[in-house]
Structure 1
Amino acid sequence: MSNAVARYEAVAEPLMRKVHPGLRQGSLAPQDVVALACELLDRFHGGDAVLERVEPNPALVPPVETTALARRILDDAGFDPGFDLAPERWETLRAALRVVAHDLPTRGVEGEPSIEILEDSFPVAAAVRRADGERLNRGGLILPETGDDPAVAATALATLIQESLLERTWQVWPVCPGHDLGVHASVRDGTAVWWCAGDGGHALAPVGALARVLGRGRPR
């Protein structure tokens, strides 16, 4: 590990992990923002937000400007709070998986899938398992930012499960009965739907509501 990387992990990252909760809780400490800006400047992350925070006298910067600059500094540095600093992401993924699970009986898959955090992965991510314990990981793991939007979360989980089942069985699912085409999960007008490309494209059903169109399949 290089000295620069070691210093980043020892100094800059802990500072970002202090600034982010301060932003969320309305308890941002200006000195932490200044320290973070100086540290990033030392590491040649001299973006506009960093320079704006380092150059003026901290005592003269209004709190509202400090808050805005702190957000920009974190964005410029590519900081991601993961699941631990943004636990609502995890709850969004869990809720989305419960929605997607309503569609699995149409494929003949019984039992509730589960989702778990893989603390040892880098970056930390989530994985899905079938009720029988098999991990469904076709297309990769679920990153924390997927939980920032419920529709995106449902679409990502539906896609992961769909592709994993396809790899396992070599059978397309779901299929639009009107066009005999495989459909895919997509966000349309802010809603997660199963989208068919037939006749210019149409929503077959919302994710979680396939049974209304396809009924239940036989167990596989």
Structure 2
Amino acid sequence: MNKSLNKQKPRVYGGTVSPYVRKVRVALAYKDVEFEDVEQTPFGAPAEFRELSPLSKIPVWQEGDFVLPDSSVILSYIEQRYPEPPLLPADPQPRARALWFQEYGGSKLNEATAGIFFERVVKPKILKLETNTKLVDHLLGKTLPRALDYLTKCLGDDEYMVGGMFSLADIALTTSFVNLNLAGVSVDTSRWPAYAAYVERIHALPFYAPIVADVPAWTKYRQD
């Protein structure tokens, strides 16, 4: 059953390859909310889009005259606007934990995963700039392993990251691994088997899998 509350579908501006846009798309798919997907790159965005997004970043949510930039703010709104099924635990501590993982996924984890994708794919293919190989080596050798060590410890033997349920934490901690894979990197199954299995398991969920697959062909990294 569709849970959109307005006759006019809300719009989500952004690119299917963005991990932040993907967060919003997965949440809407999980809640069975219909929306209009408006492809919009933040690079060289027109003035009309910059009026919607003062930081010229994606995604942007537009619902009539109501406009929200920033994925975390959008997801907070979606959770209240379309509360079922919930993406945050009801109990205060696991709820706060899920929000923390959203912050971690969008900051330190994304620094590594999306950072590698940006260097290997976006810079050479869109911006026509050279890849900073030293930075990529640092992200692969230091930043990403530290994040995976921490997250593996947090996950333990659990199926989901927080509260025994699929939550915002699981979206935030797996979305950028789509970009990492496109950049030619996967989680080392010998070093982090539990986390590699976790990412694969979450990506395979029926509402998530089509969004994982929905990436342009040009985004795939090919080493010369």
Q: Greater RCO between the two (CA within 8 Å, min separation 6)?
A: 2
Same-fold call, TM cutoff 0.5: no
Return the TM-score normalized by structure 1.
0.30
User: For the pair shown, which has the larger CA radius of gyration, 1 or 2?
Assistant: 1
Return the TM-score normalized by structure 2.
0.29
Name the one with the larger strand percent.
1
